[in-house]
Amino acid sequence: MTRLDVTSGLALERPAPVSGRRAASCLVALAALVTWAETAVAQAEITVEAGASQIGPAIGVASDDAHFAMAGLRGSWYGQSGTGLVGSVLVGTGLGTSDSRFVSGLLEGRIVDRWRPGLEARLEGRLMGFDAVTPFPYRSTAIEGGPSLRWYNSDVSVEVAGLAGIGLSQIELWRVADGPTRVFENELRRAGGTAEVLFGPPTSQFGLVGGWHHTPEGDYESVGARAVFAGSWGIAELRADRWTTPIDTEVVAGLAIVIPIGSAWTLRGFFGRTEPDPLTLAQPGSASGGMMAGRSFRIADDFRGGNAIYEIVDENAGRSRVRFVVAAPEGAQGVQLLGDFNLWEPQAMTPADGGSWTLEVLVPDGVHHFGFLVDDEWFVPDDAPDVVADEWGRQSATLVIEGAS
């Protein structure tokens, strides 16, 4: 799951005690593997972001909150199956009299294989690092990844995943303000897995999550609840988790949001307590939050020129009529269309010649995601022109309506 969280998952401002050659080799191997798995680019874009955040110190650390102004650059590349790469660089500088600063980066790759409608396997990997000066000096580099399997239909989503990682970290802590400091260096290792079960339609899902991770410092266990809401306004996730770490037991909670504004702008935000990280050994944070506004620039796509799934039949300023046509699997008894433009409420499609199904709807200008239900099973055709994962991993097709000029 993706959210705005500048305290995790990120590359270094200055070298950490880890081999740059080894990290570069992992990065090249990850990019080459993803490129080999998906040679047809369905969508590539660059997003420029800016915003602000407040980051609380780790629990038990005597330090003030840090306030940052942030700017970043994020790039993504996706193939038609949802396989792709995402990379980002984020910098922050302290507001007011603070001399706080950080620089971070992330490269993440995902290979998706849809075995049949409603069942998919993924292999994910990420190279990340982070370097912060305050509120507590901390730097780390790590690489992690693993396989996952997800089964879903219109009412239930079940996902299990395995995860392993290695890295190095350094953190400098003090018990009292202006007191003596102590530097901890750790070779990072973890292995474990997670499971998630969500119930309900895509517009409102509720469920349970859990995980177990083994590290050299001890075991981490988590159990919690999730609520995900989606619509034409955007997507939001509420979470609450109870973590048992080698140090203590903590309860963390938060809200993550993604709100599209028009066809090119997006607001992303996170508010709450940050989770512990079994790989980097970061402890839960106190109250934190931030908002970023982003402007995306699409640099490659192959769906605006028309395709077999949809056709814009009447283009107007603000809203256009779109005809959807999908070839459902043989023997389908019913097909429904749902997307953010109809608040993810299924609309029945009409059978047509050749085993296809069709429906015309009005769609507002902007970038939209959609899919189909075939006999109550989530379905996105293998030849969909732009299949991408949303913020929480579900595969959906993409439709862009630019409107009449």
Looking at the structure, tell me whether residues 312 and 292 fall in a common domain. no
C-alpha closest to that of 149 among 113, 117, 125, 107: 113
The amino acid at 183: V
Domain assignment present for residue 279? The answer is yes
Q: What is the pLDDT of residue 313?
A: 81
Looking at the structure, tell me whether residues 147 and 295 fall in a common domain. yes
Domain assignment present for residue 334? The answer is yes
Strands (E), 4-135: 41-55, 66-79, 84-94, 101-116, 119-132
- What is the number of residues in the chain? 405
Domain assignment present for residue 248? The answer is no
Looking at the structure, tell me whether residues 285 and 348 fall in a common domain. no
Domain assignment present for residue 263? The answer is no
Give one DSSP letter per residue of 260-321, joined into a string.
EETTTEEEEEEEEEPPP-TTT-PPPBSEEEEEEEEEEEEEEESSTT--SSEEEEE--SSEEE
363 neighbors 319 (Cβ within 8 angstroms): yes
What is the tally of structural domains in the chain? 2
CATH number at residue 333: 2.60.40.10
Other CB atoms within a 10 A radius of the CB of residue 347 amount to 13
Looking at the structure, tell me whether residues 36 and 185 fall in a common domain. yes
Structure-token match 């969909």, residue found:
384
Domain assignment present for residue 363? The answer is yes
Please identify, among 300, 319, 340, the residue that sits at the C-terminal boundary of a domain.
300
Which structural domain range is residue 56 located in? 20-189+271-300
Looking at the structure, tell me whether residues 53 and 179 fall in a common domain. yes
Q: What is the pLDDT of residue 136?
A: 66
Structure-token match 């989770």, residue found:
275
CA 45, distance to chain mean position in Å, is 15
Pairing of strands 356-364, 319-327: antiparallel
Q: What is the pLDDT of residue 3?
A: 31
pLDDT per residue, tens digit, the chain (405 aa), is: 333 333 333 222 333 333 444 444 554 555 555 554 444 555 678 899 999 988 776 666 556 777 889 999 998 877 656 677 888 999 988 887 667 788 898 999 888 777 776 788 889 999 988 887 765 677 888 999 999 998 877 678 899 999 999 998 887 776 666 667 777 787 889 999 999 999 987 678 899 999 999 998 899 999 999 998 876 677 889 999 999 999 889 899 999 998 878 667 888 999 988 888 887 767 766 678 899 999 988 776 544 444 568 888 877 666 788 889 888 887 888 899 988 888 788 888 988 877 788 998 888 877 788 888 888 778 888 777 677 765 555 678 888 876 544
C-alpha closest to that of 391 among 267, 286, 285, 263: 267
Looking at the structure, tell me whether residues 288 and 395 fall in a common domain. no
Tell me the helix, strand and coil percentages in the chain, rounded to 5: 5, 60, 30
Q: What is the pLDDT of residue 18?
A: 39
Looking at the structure, tell me whether residues 275 and 317 fall in a common domain. no
Looking at the structure, tell me whether residues 126 and 46 fall in a common domain. yes
Please identify, among 279, 300, 321, the residue that sits at the C-terminal boundary of a domain.
300
State the Cα–Cα distance between residues 90 and 343, nearest whole angstrom. Answer: 33
Q: What is the pLDDT of residue 179?
A: 65
Pairing of strands 204-215, 218-231: antiparallel
Domain assignment present for residue 226? The answer is no
Rounded to the nearest 5°, which phi and psi values hold at 215? -130, 165
Looking at the structure, tell me whether residues 184 and 315 fall in a common domain. no
Domain assignment present for residue 48? The answer is yes
Looking at the structure, tell me whether residues 119 and 34 fall in a common domain. yes
The amino acid at 346: P
- What tokens appear for 308 in the block? 């077999």
Q: What is the pLDDT of residue 288?
A: 83
Strand partners, 71: 50, 91
Q: What is the pLDDT of residue 148?
A: 94
Domain assignment present for residue 282? The answer is yes
Looking at the structure, tell me whether residues 286 and 321 fall in a common domain. no
Looking at the structure, tell me whether residues 72 and 84 fall in a common domain. yes
Q: What is the pLDDT of residue 226?
A: 94
